[in-house]
Chain A
Amino acid sequence: MALHLQTLTELAAGLANREFTSVELTEVLLARIAEHNDTLNTFVTVTTDAALAAAARADDALAAGKGGVLNGLPIIHKDIFCTRGIKTSCGSKMLDNFISPYDATVVERMAAAGAVILGKSNMDEFAMGSSNETSYIGPVRNPWNLECSPGGSSGGSSAAVAARIAPAATGTDTGGSIRQPAALTGTVGIKPTYGRVSRYGMIAFASSLDQAGVITRSAEDAARLLGVMAGFDERDSTSIDKPVPDYVASLGDSIKGLRVGIVRQHFDQGLDDECGARVKDAIAVLESLGATTVEVDLPNLDLSVPTYYVVAPAECSSNLSRFDGVRFGHRAENAVDLLDLYCRSRGEGFGDEVKRRIMTGTYVLSAGYYDAYYLKAQKVRQLIADDFKNAFADVDVIAGPTTPTPAFKLGEKVDDPILMYLNDIYTIGANLAGLPAMSVPCGFVDDLPVGLHLVGAHFAEATLLRCAHQYQQQTDWHTACPAAFR
């Protein structure tokens, strides 16, 4: 099989068996980037020279019988991760001139395992968006239909993996930013438990919700990468000191007896009928593998979007204060005084969606509004978390749709923030509750992919990955490749 069509797991075997070298593999993928990036706009930066050098080092390591578990395997990092000596723009004009002086923990761990970084993927500005249209370098296109959005904010990562430009890419997920783009591009995306992967070096959007994960073509590949990324980091106080299980080792275990929760509210209104049908088909496959379904209730689910759009902007308004034109990033020219420097640097550096959220967040934290908005939202957040906790007393995973519809057209929702925000209705709950969740391809509607959403209890990543892997042993939705990118 052509190298670009192989999964990470297959490529790892090929490298180990000396069927090809990492340099050869990297060259193939760099050629694909050159061929398709103009169409898809998946990259902010392509690190050609660094990639080839890393690939050569990986080949040397392999020849010497060394090398980590990702030795020689090419991946892409979302441009939200700080990469030493490489531009880290976070999809914003504000950081177009920012060369990070350090590596994020995720970047460091992947590099230590031998991964080859092809470049930095395009994303919604500061990860704020569900369509990749807020990026300062323009939207990414969906390989399944170039008129459609690949989702967001990790749209560059999802499109690149779907277009077979790279076998895997990192992403971050604050309200669905890994899972929604994975669903809309027919890829696998996992957001681990909050605290499972270090946030150090990941440019913060909403600190209590942000979590790093991966987008791949198979659950097995996701398991492989997650094992490298996960684990305690003393530089992140919210990372959790808990051993990382061998996610790959348990993939083959049966899901017989697995209790799958079906949320009544998921199939009410707002869900596209055809999407609902694909998701139900997928659940039927799980049942055929011995899983049992249980209906569960998440009574406060409808509050998750408004809750999120108080908490996330509040945190972002504070997190983005450091972009003031003083020490790094965009600085307005010829400022007449300090206030002018602040106002114009930020006014010029940030796009509309970022400004909208900073203003919303500033408002909800303001004296006189804090109790009514921020504090209230935190209380509702607790209710939502409690709903999930109650549900997980009876089930092992909750299954449902990742998104209400398949990929939408670029430009279709960009002027209606509320409509755009509703795209995250099924994914946001997992962020508010800090739960692991993933999206797995489960069919097509009008030639566009549909995602099955699986949510687990805290630290149940292994269960999610096993469930997804077992599903993928019975189905081939995840192997489907958009025609123009075979």
Chain B
Amino acid sequence: MSSAAAKSGWEVVIGLEVHAQLMTKSKIFSGASTAYGADPNTQACLVDLGYPGVLPVLNKEVVRMATVFGLAVNATVARRCVFARKNYFYPDLPKGYQISQFELPIVEHGELFITGADGKEKRIGITRAHLEEDAGKSIHEGLDANSGIDLNRAGIPLLEIVSEPDLRSAQEAVAYLRKIHTIVRYLGICDGNMQEGSFRCDANVSVRPLGQEELGMRAEIKNLNSFRFIEKAINFEVERQIDLLEDGGTVKQETRLYDSDKDETRPMRSKEEANDYRYFPDPDLLPVEISEEYIEAARATLPELPDAKRQRFLADYELKESDAAILTASRAVADYFEAVTAATGTKAQVAANWVIGELSGALNRDGLEIGASKISAAALAGLLNRIQDDTISGKIAKQVFEAMWDGDGSADDVIDAKGLKQITDTAAIEAVVDKVIAAHPDQVAEYRAGKDKLIGFFVGKVMQETKGQANPGQVNKILKDKLGG
């Protein structure tokens, strides 16, 4: 619960509607391509354009995708679902109706679990998830006073996932959303790209005095395209509603847009929402019948889901709780981590540190997804093995990592080429230690007088002499022996 709300004795109630774009090759009711970023109206066929006489034909892949989603959130997958027409006029809606699902959606009664503010697991109900087609886009820039319509997006399949009003704060809303985001990407049904709009969210927000049963009047906030904005928009809206109510006002049921530049929500023009959608079953499409066998076959294809994977990582790899959560937030990252771990003798926590630390840092720096990593899991494992067998120190390994990232080859290639192999020859290290001790008589005297901290100074000098290649453990031991003597 946001602190402002907690203080004032109000309870926040939030329900989310997520629109996840399904990663099919062609559109939900036509054969046109779904690829993002093409020139306007180059990926819209006659069906998408709503030409006279054309008819929709269901892309069966969307049924499979919705089915696996339903199974992943422990929901009921309907044995029979129906497409309905949602009627309204808008230039980016070519047919004058959107094909959606209304009374009989494909998925109902699901749930997922988030970690609440108190650290406990909290169940969030999923009312339903239904299939529908996306609309096109209106374009206003560069057209003077005119508007353009791009129908490339018209007919892109969407899964609209509706939560119960179970969320009690902006933080919980974001946690829920991140969970949905993780699940759809695990299932490979949505790329989760919020910038390109393939994962979008509307939030229904209301407040009520603590202890009151009855829900307050809600406002729907649209246009939320990042986790950060969602949190900010909800917090803004909560404060707006509380201020309004505390001043004796009332909350209007309306649709509001979040403006991220001004960090505020404001009402949409009422004309844009005054719609009676006149839903009725689409007579151009037959009801979709889904057999028990189909559902079971889909269940058999389910990957290990984030919660189960996290539990396994904790149990099998003995990772830190937070690291297990980070690694399992993405299936690709988890797979990468497991591949590294499998190929090294090193401890899993070390592999985890490298994936979360150096690797994630480099990926972020270059704006890459893990699938495009310049260092493969096998290559990273090779590097970790060289630490494990004392060929290089952890510090030198970071240098090797950077060289590998820059394309200088495998860990062994880099170590050989740059002569970075660790010095483990005791005699050689002793020679350097002797030289350092001889060169710093004052510090030796201070150390021997009890200033133990100076050990770091001597280690540094030895490492400097050996270009960091001396085995740090051995250096420490030899220094202590010689200085102590």
Interface residues of A (CB under 8 A from B): 81-82, 88, 90, 95, 98, 100-102, 104, 199-204, 206-208, 234-238, 314-315, 317-318, 320-324, 326-328, 338, 342, 362, 365-367, 370, 374
Contacts and interface: CB of A to CB of B under 8 A. Distances in A.
Contacts of A90: 52
Interface of B: 46, 49-58, 85, 87, 89, 91, 94-97, 149, 276, 278-280, 283-286
Contacts of A202: 53
Given A203-B52, A327-B49, A238 B284 contact: yes
Contacts of B286: 237-238
Given A207-B284, A328-B51, A318 B94 contact: no
Nearest to B278: A365
B50 A318 contact: no
A324 B51 CA distance: 11
Contacts of B279: 365
Contacts of A104: 53
Contacts of B95: 321-322
A35 B395 CA distance: 98
Name, among B52, B97, B283, B285, the residue most crowded by chain A CB atoms within 10 Å (CB to CB). B52
B54 A324 contact: no
A327 B285 CA distance: 24
A237 B54 contact: no
Contacts, number: 98
Contacts of A102: 46, 51
A82 B280 contact: no
Given A81-B53, A238-B283, 15 more contacts: A82-B52, A95-B52, A102-B51, A237-B56, A317-B87, A317-B278, A318-B85, A318-B280, A320-B96, A321-B87, A324-B89, A328-B52, A365-B87, A367-B278, A370-B280
Is chain B's binding surface mostly helix, strand, loop or mixed? loop
A26 B278 CA distance: 49
B284 A237 contact: yes
Contacts of A237: 55-58, 284-286
Nearest to B87: A318
User: Which 10 A/B pairs are nearest by Cβ-Cβ distance?
Assistant: A321-B96, A208-B283, A365-B278, A207-B283, A201-B53, A322-B50, A203-B52, A82-B53, A322-B95, A203-B53
B55 A101 contact: no
Contacts of A235: 55, 57
Given A102-B46, A199-B55, A200-B55, A314 B91 contact: no
A82 B52 CA distance: 8
7 contacts: A201-B54, A207-B283, A208-B283, A236-B55, A237-B56, A323-B52, A324-B89
A366 B283 contact: no
A86 B89 CA distance: 28
A64 B360 CA distance: 71
A367 B97 contact: no
A260 to B, nearest CB: 32
A192 B388 CA distance: 79
B283 A315 contact: yes
A326 B149 contact: yes
B144 to A, nearest CB: 15
A208 B286 CA distance: 10
Contacts of A338: 91
A70 B209 CA distance: 77
Nearest to B88: A321
A235 B58 CA distance: 10
A322 B50 CA distance: 7
A203 to B, nearest CB: 5
A369 to B, nearest CB: 10
B480 to A, nearest CB: 82
Contacts of A315: 283
Given A200-B54, A237-B58, A321 B46 contact: no
Contacts of A101: 46, 51
A207 B57 CA distance: 14
A439 B287 CA distance: 32
A318 B278 contact: yes
B53 A234 contact: no
B51 A367 contact: no
A136 to B, nearest CB: 15
Contacts of A370: 278, 280
B281 to A, nearest CB: 9
B283 A322 contact: no
Nearest to B47: A235
Name, among A82, A88, A326, the residue most crowded by chain B CB atoms within 10 Å (CB to CB). A326
A98 B94 CA distance: 16
Name, among B55, B56, B58, B279, the residue most crowded by chain A CB atoms within 10 Å (CB to CB). B55
A208 B285 CA distance: 10
Nearest to B57: A237
Name, among B50, B58, B278, the residue most crowded by chain A CB atoms within 10 Å (CB to CB). B278
Contacts of A201: 53-54
Contacts of A326: 91, 94, 149
Nearest to A363: B278
Contacts of A323: 52
A365 B280 contact: yes
Contacts of B55: 199-200, 235-238
